[in-house]
Structure 1
Amino acid sequence: MPRNRWSLFWPGLLISILLLAGIVFFYHEIHDREDLGRVENRALDKAAQSSRIAVRPDPAVPSPLPSTSISLLLIEVPKLELASQFMRVWRVSGRNMCGALREAGIEMSEWKAASMRNRSYECYFQRIYQRDEVRPLSSTFVKVRGDEMGDILEIRAKIIGPSTDAQGRLAPAILRIFEIIVKQACWHDFEDTLASIQNLQNVEYERFGSYLSFTREAGGDNNFNFVLGLKATSSSQVKTKTYFSTERWLAARNSRNVPANLILADRLGPSKSANCAQ
């Protein structure tokens, strides 16, 4: 029995020593790796600090301002031909409206100030065909009213005892006045009202910031009043109208010398007919 115990003792002791040595080696390896990680972290922190110091600007040296370019879209005057895509506007000036009526044989006066102290401008046509001692029995009156910038504010007409055909329709010579006015305004959706005007029927049309009215006068069975004008009814239409108003933009004679200024659009072009292409 003693020999058997000694024979088992030495192998067990050897195994215990090997296990202990393995455990010591394992913990030593883990410790070395942790130390290496700490060293690497310190190195990275020092590199980051040095890079911050390197890129820090010198407060004594002023930093250059970044170069900026202003888009021409921000300084160009609003194009009036584009305004009709957002709001109803007159596509023709008062002067050109009067000229178009004159070209059609309607003896409109020249576009001029209503009076010496009045800033409103106008042109008009009036013809009395028949009258008694008190008032006209048959007459036609047309007035285009605007401002000194050439903008039309309103167009009015009054016909008394108009000539009609056998079907009671308005005479072509008088109907031609309203056809020219509606055509020059370039408001195509208003052209449907011409049929009612031709048949001397009341029509009141208001759409998209503008209005047209052709009504029989109360108390006058054969008297008719016509009105065509603008009417901004919503806040968005008012803002759009304000934006496209050239009175809010600066005028410059030479845009090359003063790029920030704006060129005032030529609203009174040589043509007497409105361009309704857009």
Structure 2
Amino acid sequence: MSNHGWLLWPALLIPILLLASIVAYYREIRPVDPAGLLEHQSLNKTAQSPRTALDTAAPSPLPPITVSRHLTEVPKLELASQFLRRWLVSGPNICGGLREAGIEMSEWKAASMRNRNYECYFQRIYERDEVRPISSTFVKVRGNEIGEILEIRAKIIGPKTDAQGHLAPAVLRIFEIIVKRACWPDFGDALTSIQNLSDVEYERFGAYLTFTRDAGSENSFNFALGIKSTSASQMRTKAYFSTDRWLVTRTPRSVPANFGLMDRLVTSASANCAQ
């Protein structure tokens, strides 16, 4: 082949390649069939509809929440006694009850000028020798400035008895009032032992009651009634039902108002067992 033939082939190849490129370009940019596009979009929507329904579904309404009134009420003292031992009578109340029964208890007041302990007491000496009383009765209710009782103590020396050796009704009445106003029925049977001047020592559910003879005297008796929390569960429950948690903040200078508040709280709880 001559040199002219070799030169002719490249000249023909270049236009052919250029024409092929133009055809391919126009195929890419050709108008889209609207019917085909709509069909394609419809298929896509059909495939995505389950997920869209899940994503856009309205959340189901939550059931209404009802808060029990027991979660917002202040604890009731009469119910607290089912879980822990506590006084259901105030110091001023029990001192007043003893006065109403004819026992000349003092008024509830501070034990001294610089002492935050409060108390009321009764002491009567019936007979004494040159050194000490040989027949007397002493009662003390001890507590704090808002009227809470800490402990009740009594001491009788040479008590009067009847023909059967039972404690005289006038003195027994003191212990009856104390035990009944405390509203602790499980200590009620101790009154029989006290009437018979027999030793009795109870420690029941966070409280104690003792009536025992003095070690050095057969005719002298000591009485004590108080609270003793003995377990961690009782201590936790005592903290929950504490008046410090639920009542207004107390101050030493607001003693009269606090007395009234304490008495109102405990009067209804102890009314049925203080007769």
Structure whose residues are more often helix by fraction: 2
SS at match of 2:223: strand
Residue in structure 2 matched with residue 200 of structure 1 by the alignment:
197
Give the residue type in structure 1 aligned to 2:195: Q
Pick the aligned partner of 1:92 from 86, 89, 93.
89
SS at match of 1:247: helix
Residue in structure 1 matched with residue 127 of structure 2 by the alignment:
130
Question: Is 2:91–2:141's contact at 8 Å kept on the other side of the alignment?
Answer: yes
- Please say if 1:275 is aligned against 2:271: yes
Query: How much has 1:114 moved relative to structure 2?
Result: 1.2
Give the residue type in structure 2 aligned to 1:142: V
Pick the aligned partner of 1:74 from 71, 74, 90.
71
Aligned-partner Cα distance in 2 for 1:213–1:169: 18
Higher Cα Rg: structure 1 or 2?
Answer: 2
TM-score with structure 1 setting the length: 0.70
User: Alignment RMSD, CA only?
Assistant: 2.9
Q: 1:153 to 1:76 in 2, by over 3 A?
A: same
- Please say if 1:225 is aligned against 2:227: no
Q: Per-residue displacement from partner, 1:38-68 (whole Å, max 9, x unpaired)?
A: xxx98765113323554699xxxxxxxxx98
Q: 1:43 to 1:112 in 2, by over 3 A?
A: same
Residue in structure 2 matched with residue 266 of structure 1 by the alignment:
261
Aligned-partner Cα distance in 2 for 1:156–1:192: 18
Q: 1:79 to 1:164 in 2, by over 3 A?
A: same
Structure 1 alignment gaps of length 5 or more: 1-40, 58-66, 253-264
Q: 1:216 to 1:44 in 2, by over 3 A?
A: farther
Structure 2 alignment gaps of length 5 or more: 1-42, 250-259
SS at match of 1:118: coil
Aligned-partner Cα distance in 2 for 1:155–1:174: 15
Give the residue type in structure 2 aligned to 1:266: L
Task: Kindly tell me the number of residue pairs found equivalent between the two proteins.
Answer: 217
Question: Is 1:161–1:222's contact at 8 Å kept on the other side of the alignment?
Answer: yes
SS at match of 2:237: helix
Question: Is 1:99–1:272's contact at 8 Å kept on the other side of the alignment?
Answer: no
Q: How does 1:91-170 map to 2 (within 5 A)?
A: 91-170=88-167
- Please say if 1:242 is aligned against 2:239: yes
> Identical aligned pairs, as a percentage?
66
Q: 1:250 to 1:194 in 2, by over 3 A?
A: closer
Residue in structure 1 matched with residue 172 of structure 2 by the alignment:
175
Q: How does 1:26-45 map to 2 (within 5 A)?
A: 45=47
Aligned-partner Cα distance in 2 for 1:89–1:45: 72
Query: How much has 1:78 moved relative to structure 2?
Result: 1.4
- Please say if 1:50 is aligned against 2:52: yes
Aligned-partner Cα distance in 1 for 2:261–2:272: 17
SS at match of 1:139: strand
Worse overlay, 84-93 or 151-160? 84-93
Question: Is 1:91–1:275's contact at 8 Å kept on the other side of the alignment?
Answer: no
Question: Is 2:89–2:267's contact at 8 Å kept on the other side of the alignment?
Answer: no
Worse overlay, 156-165 or 78-87? 78-87
